[in-house]
Chain A
């Protein structure tokens, strides 16, 4: 067992090997009434196995695992008064549990949910229908349409730009035997990490988790089941058509931009890279920047729709900027110019201290609840660090670091642009 203490937060992180290669990260929160747990499995849409992509498959497995031979496992969680949920991302699948202080039974169920690979043809058929409905639900969401449109412009037809849930033809072709093979290969203890936060004794909770792991994953050994293929770095595609226009039933136009990070080697850890990009965006175009004020006062930002986000993982990274605006062309031109020239024109030396202070406040707040601690553990784990590194990194970040991050994403950038325009009368015909 390894313990890391953060004097700034006065919090402990325990890292425990549960056996069979499964790791436990735990942050005890004295006084908390809820226990939050997340079992993260290293299988996401970006993975490949035997030459096949996990797009559609990872998400389908996540759905199917809830249907056990005895029925829907959600009912058993509910009988214990627990909430259970799951989501599939690009690099991993997360099963999240929220329960009270009596966590032994719920944790045991969580391990059963993940490691019991029971899947049936009947279940597959039903989940296909449900997932198709899920896909259609998101197709009516303008932000979703813009997000994927932007990723296609930046990455072409690579898995990162495909919907994680897949599409109808792909789902219809998936066979139950295929899903079982994927489950056997990826849902192994060595490919999982359990995050826990709540009021507990680390020794007691370790014993409970070890028992549950032995009970539900006894047949796994560290090297069984073939090799899990490591993720490859996602390359920015040489796409010529980076500007797309979609007509949707909207009241006003929107503009969305994706700035993919080029792998130019910043020399920064992934956590520092993420923070450096966030600092840059805040200083360059955040609500206290000159640029934001100018955009707002010129009427280029409508309502409360402006967003600037950073997405950094080990194999890819990109920033998005989006808004509802009466003049999408003008907005895009202005933002491109602001971000491309920000470094040369501003320098930001006066802003760095304030931006770091703001980020410090935001990060400390992130550790306020068991749920927040869980999210910080999960986010830092996939970036190859630990949650307290976020706090440590803020003070260490220099203007040079921020400049490197800017250079990677925004210098001489060719963003992918998606315009969402309201349907005209012609479109209705």
Chain B
């Protein structure tokens, strides 16, 4: 079997097994668990987004041999309280399905059970992925109906979290393609249109066409990893997957800035300012975006926190969030209705300061020190390392930590200023309240 080492993040040993299967291995004796994570990556688009979300839910409903969720979850419990999850997420323009099983390292379980732990977890993963419970060539109709209802409810509950709702509304108002504003759950309309047959067909298509990343991490040796990888490749149908391509999103330049106000039953206003910026073409661009965000509003010591919270006392919560892969940046704050103008003014003022390169020397040093600490701390954060590795593969940028750190300490304030000047505000959404402070609805 052909195995090709691929460029990745040094923390992981990465290789390509062919036919769209990438294997990533992190050997660490520090972990008390062994984690298998299979990530199926497909383009984010309608109506597939709803289908992927539903298939992820149906994976939790059972397999041909464990045909209901009770039997499936009991089988997971029997693996010494293994952790199992079937989730979805978005990374850039990719929609990801994560199938994860985490078991205790063998040394923590009864000697008689040690040999069976890893094969047991792998077999369970195989059944869930390859043999979900079905009625012929269709998912179980009753389960599909229940999961459609549950997913609709999940889509609706975005509205319950008013900050998340405001951010979603802001992104919808931004001058970017609508396909780029999809949530990982799909749309209600697309969910409604799904049935057992169409989902089954989508599942087969997923196995044939998706790019698959297998992450194996914990106290596990090369022999075991190769055995796991070969088994996973044998599960998958013969596939012809094209060479991986770079994420296609380009930061659009907005034509007009939209200010949108919505009155709602909230005690505190939710302000979200949305910006577009060019996606990173180099590792240095990527690091510059992270540093800009940390200087502006991503840390407790950043400009927005100092001015809006500490100096003006206008809010408890304000932060900026950058998503380099989507070319987006948001400033999010919980403020009183009366503080809108002043807060918005401070946000604009701080951005102008960044654009002029007016960065306080202490802040510059503190922020770089904080980010360097985060990078070093990833050694204790297997999840964080996995996310960084996956980003590296999706962006095709070699985001290894030593390179990130080198760029972090060689970036100049002028480069941050140039990046900030390239940011364009596309929308400002304010959900303001008609409930006075402390009033109960």
The reply to whether A78 and B300 form a contact with Cβ atoms under 8 Å apart is yes
The reply to whether B162 and A140 form a contact with Cβ atoms under 8 Å apart is yes
The reply to whether A80 and B157 form a contact with Cβ atoms under 8 Å apart is no
Tell me, in angstroms, the Cα distance from A258 to B377 when the chains sit together.
Answer: 38
CB distance from B251 to the nearest CB of A (A): 29
The reply to whether A249 and B301 form a contact with Cβ atoms under 8 Å apart is no
The reply to whether A168 and B301 form a contact with Cβ atoms under 8 Å apart is no
- In the bound complex, residues from chain A placing their C-beta under 8 Å from that of B316 are 130-131, 133-134, 137
The reply to whether A126 and B313 form a contact with Cβ atoms under 8 Å apart is yes
| Closest B residue, CB atoms, query A145 | B440
The reply to whether A140 and B267 form a contact with Cβ atoms under 8 Å apart is yes
Instruction: Name the contact of B380 in the complex, choosing from A33, A74, A133 (C-beta under 8 A).
Output: A33
Instruction: Name the contact of A252 in the complex, choosing from B157, B162, B265 (C-beta under 8 A).
Output: B157
The reply to whether B380 and A360 form a contact with Cβ atoms under 8 Å apart is no
The reply to whether B150 and A302 form a contact with Cβ atoms under 8 Å apart is yes
CB distance from B296 to the nearest CB of A (A): 15
Tell me which residues from 58 to 117 in chain A have a Cβ below 8 Å from any Cβ of chain B.
72, 74-75, 78-84, 98-100
| Closest B residue, CB atoms, query A143 | B160
Interface membership of A250, Cβ < 8 A? yes
- In the bound complex, residues from chain B placing their C-beta under 8 Å from that of A202 are none
Known: A133-B316, A364-B32. A142 touches B370 (CB 8 A): no
Interface membership of B266, Cβ < 8 A? yes
Tell me, in angstroms, the Cα distance from A137 to B301 when the chains sit together.
Answer: 21
Tell me, in angstroms, the Cα distance from A82 to B371 when the chains sit together.
Answer: 10
Tell me which residues from 157 to 209 in chain B have a Cβ below 8 Å from any Cβ of chain A.
157, 159-162
Instruction: Name the contact of A368 in the complex, choosing from B33, B79, B266 (C-beta under 8 A).
Output: B33
Interface membership of A274, Cβ < 8 A? no
CB distance from B242 to the nearest CB of A (A): 35
- In the bound complex, residues from chain A placing their C-beta under 8 Å from that of B282 are none
The reply to whether B74 and A364 form a contact with Cβ atoms under 8 Å apart is no
Tell me which residues from 285 to 342 in chain B have a Cβ below 8 Å from any Cβ of chain A.
299-301, 309-310, 313-317, 334-336
In which size bucket is the chain B interface?
A: 35 or more
Instruction: Name the contact of B150 in the complex, choosing from A34, A288, A303 (C-beta under 8 A).
Output: A303
The reply to whether B69 and A296 form a contact with Cβ atoms under 8 Å apart is yes
Known: A303-B153, A367-B32. A133 touches B315 (CB 8 A): yes
The reply to whether A137 and B299 form a contact with Cβ atoms under 8 Å apart is no
The reply to whether A354 and B74 form a contact with Cβ atoms under 8 Å apart is yes
Tell me, in angstroms, the Cα distance from A52 to B34 when the chains sit together.
Answer: 51
1/0 per residue, CB under 8 A from B, across A273-312: the answer is 0000000000000011110110011010011110000000
- In the bound complex, residues from chain B placing their C-beta under 8 Å from that of A83 are 370, 373
The reply to whether B153 and A324 form a contact with Cβ atoms under 8 Å apart is yes
Instruction: Name the contact of A293 in the complex, choosing from B70, B83, B370, B437 (C-beta under 8 A).
Output: B70
The reply to whether B266 and A304 form a contact with Cβ atoms under 8 Å apart is no
The reply to whether A136 and B267 form a contact with Cβ atoms under 8 Å apart is yes
Interface membership of A3, Cβ < 8 A? no
Instruction: Name the contact of B266 in the complex, choosing from A29, A140, A288 (C-beta under 8 A).
Output: A140
- In the bound complex, residues from chain A placing their C-beta under 8 Å from that of B370 are 78, 81-83
1/0 per residue, CB under 8 A from A, across B58-87: the answer is 000000000011100110011111110000
Known: A75-B366, A79-B369, A249-B266. A288 touches B73 (CB 8 A): yes
Instruction: Name the contact of B441 in the complex, choosing from A354, A361, A427 (C-beta under 8 A).
Output: A427
Tell me, in angstroms, the Cα distance from A136 to B78 when the chains sit together.
Answer: 45
Tally of contact residues, A, Cβ under 8 A? 78
CB distance from B436 to the nearest CB of A (A): 10
Interface membership of A251, Cβ < 8 A? yes
Interface membership of A369, Cβ < 8 A? yes
CB distance from B98 to the nearest CB of A (A): 15
Known: A78-B301, A324-B157. A139 touches B309 (CB 8 A): no
Known: A131-B316, A293-B69. A79 touches B77 (CB 8 A): no
1/0 per residue, CB under 8 A from B, across A240-283: the answer is 00000011111110000000000000000000000000000000
Tell me, in angstroms, the Cα distance from A32 to B380 when the chains sit together.
Answer: 6
- In the bound complex, residues from chain B placing their C-beta under 8 Å from that of A175 are none
Known: A79-B362, A100-B376, A304-B150. A364 touches B78 (CB 8 A): no
The reply to whether A32 and B30 form a contact with Cβ atoms under 8 Å apart is yes
The reply to whether B265 and A287 form a contact with Cβ atoms under 8 Å apart is no
The reply to whether B32 and A368 form a contact with Cβ atoms under 8 Å apart is yes
The reply to whether A249 and B265 form a contact with Cβ atoms under 8 Å apart is yes
Interface membership of A358, Cβ < 8 A? yes
CB distance from B86 to the nearest CB of A (A): 11
- In the bound complex, residues from chain B placing their C-beta under 8 Å from that of A370 are 380
The reply to whether B334 and A137 form a contact with Cβ atoms under 8 Å apart is yes
Tell me, in angstroms, the Cα distance from A8 to B369 when the chains sit together.
Answer: 38
1/0 per residue, CB under 8 A from A, across B105-143: the answer is 001100000000000000000000000000000000010
Interface membership of A359, Cβ < 8 A? yes
CB distance from A298 to the nearest CB of B (A): 10
Tell me, in angstroms, the Cα distance from A236 to B68 when the chains sit together.
Answer: 40
- In the bound complex, residues from chain B placing their C-beta under 8 Å from that of A297 are 142, 146
- In the bound complex, residues from chain B placing their C-beta under 8 Å from that of A358 are 77, 80-81
Interface membership of A403, Cβ < 8 A? no
Tell me, in angstroms, the Cα distance from A134 to B81 when the chains sit together.
Answer: 38
- In the bound complex, residues from chain A placing their C-beta under 8 Å from that of B381 are 369
The reply to whether A78 and B77 form a contact with Cβ atoms under 8 Å apart is no
CB distance from B300 to the nearest CB of A (A): 5
- In the bound complex, residues from chain A placing their C-beta under 8 Å from that of B300 are 74, 78, 84
Interface membership of A181, Cβ < 8 A? no
Tell me, in angstroms, the Cα distance from A304 to B310 when the chains sit together.
Answer: 37
The reply to whether B268 and A34 form a contact with Cβ atoms under 8 Å apart is no
- In the bound complex, residues from chain A placing their C-beta under 8 Å from that of B267 are 136, 139-140
Known: A75-B362, A251-B160, A252-B157. A365 touches B83 (CB 8 A): yes
Tell me, in angstroms, the Cα distance from A125 to B78 when the chains sit together.
Answer: 56
Tell me, in angstroms, the Cα distance from A224 to B335 when the chains sit together.
Answer: 43
CB distance from B314 to the nearest CB of A (A): 7
| Closest A residue, CB atoms, query B60 | A287
Tell me, in angstroms, the Cα distance from A141 to B163 when the chains sit together.
Answer: 9
1/0 per residue, CB under 8 A from A, across B252-264: the answer is 0000000000001
Tell me which residues from 1 to 43 in chain A have a Cβ below 8 Å from any Cβ of chain B.
8-10, 29, 31-34
The reply to whether B309 and A251 form a contact with Cβ atoms under 8 Å apart is no
Tell me, in angstroms, the Cα distance from A371 to B149 when the chains sit together.
Answer: 37
Tell me, in angstroms, the Cα distance from A354 to B433 when the chains sit together.
Answer: 49
1/0 per residue, CB under 8 A from B, across A300-336: the answer is 0011110000000000000000001000000000000
Interface membership of A132, Cβ < 8 A? yes
The reply to whether B78 and A357 form a contact with Cβ atoms under 8 Å apart is yes
Interface membership of A167, Cβ < 8 A? yes
Interface membership of B104, Cβ < 8 A? yes
CB distance from A257 to the nearest CB of B (A): 19
Instruction: Name the contact of A251 in the complex, choosing from B149, B159, B433 (C-beta under 8 A).
Output: B159
Q: What 5 A-B pairs have minimum CB-CB distances, sorted nearest first?
A: A361-B81, A81-B369, A81-B373, A129-B313, A134-B316
* 11 intermolecular pairs with C-beta atoms under 8 Å apart: A8-B108, A10-B107, A81-B369, A81-B373, A133-B316, A136-B437, A249-B441, A252-B157, A288-B77, A289-B70, A303-B157
Beyond A135-B438, A361-B82, 5 additional contacts (C-beta under 8 Å) are A72-B310, A78-B367, A167-B438, A248-B441, A357-B77
Residues of B within 8 A of A (CB): 29-33, 68-70, 73-74, 77-83, 102-104, 107-108, 142, 146, 149-151, 153-154, 156-157, 159-162, 264-268, 270, 299-301, 309-310, 313-317, 334-336, 362, 365-367, 369-370, 372-373, 376-377, 379-381, 433, 437-438, 440-441
